[in-house]
Amino acid sequence: MPVTVDAKASALLVLDINSAVCPSRPACMASVPTIAGLIKKARDAKVPVIYSTTANATVLPDVAPQPGEPTVTAKADKFVGTNLEDLLKERKATTAVIVGSAANGAVLYTTFEANIRGITAVVATDGISTGPAFDTFLTEYQLLNQPGAANADNKPLTPNAVTLSKSDLITFK
């Protein structure tokens, strides 16, 4: 689904593209160039980029944070035990564009939590990964059909819900 996201009211979340998660997952490694392209697009539009990682891991060099770009460290839900909500509020982000691995962990739980906290989400499906392809398919289904915030028709930018898109169909304006 093509979407145009307000650059002044959004942030790009790059979840767990790190040394502990990606090297053992071919789908994660394959998503890195796509994620790098989306990061460049966001930075060019002055959209804040916020990273997450897991304990004892580092973000992969091809998508690494630049000075001043924050990183939170947490398990699956990146809001739990971190200042992610504060970082989004400081940046006046009401929409989060989300990529990452594991789709059925960090992406799923962080996206659900974002919606609960009043943040509209756009998930770039070519920038998410898991182990088996079925897990990614199921995650996409769950994102569109979450209880209380379903967007089964994938209507673009439904408030407090998820829109599935692809990196080349996301425009920051």
Q: What is the pLDDT of residues 60-105, one digit of tens each?
A: 999 999 999 999 999 999 999 999 999 999 999 999 999 999 899 9
pTM: predicted TM-score of the whole model, two decimal places: 0.97
Residue type, 85: E
Give the mean model confidence (pLDDT) for residues 105-131: 96
Structure token digits, residue 137: 């398919």
Task: For the chain, give the percent of residues with pLDDT over 90.
Answer: 95
What pLDDT was estimated at residue 118? 95
Q: Report d(CA 36, CA 39) in Å as an integer.
A: 5
Give the pLDDT band (50/70/90) at residue 133: confident
| Phi-psi region at 126: left, alpha or beta (left = phi > 0; alpha = psi -120 to 50) | alpha
Q: Report d(CA 101, CA 142) in Å as an integer.
A: 16
Give the mean model confidence (pLDDT) for residues 111-131: 96
Q: Positive or negative, the Cα torsion across 71, 6, 31, 140?
A: positive
Task: Collect contacts of 155-158 with beta carbons under 8 A, ≥24 apart.
Answer: 156/1, 156/2, 156/3, 157/3, 157/5, 157/95, 157/120, 157/122, 158/120
Q: Report d(CA 98, CA 11) in Å as an integer.
A: 9
* Residue spans of beta strands (DSSP E) within 70-138: 71-73, 95-101, 120-129
Structure token digits, residue 50: 């916020």
According to CATH, the topology of domain 3-172 is: Rossmann fold (3.40.50)
Domain chopping of the chain, boundaries? 3-172
pLDDT at 8 over 90: yes
Q: Are 49 and 134 in contact, with CB atoms under 8 Å apart?
A: no
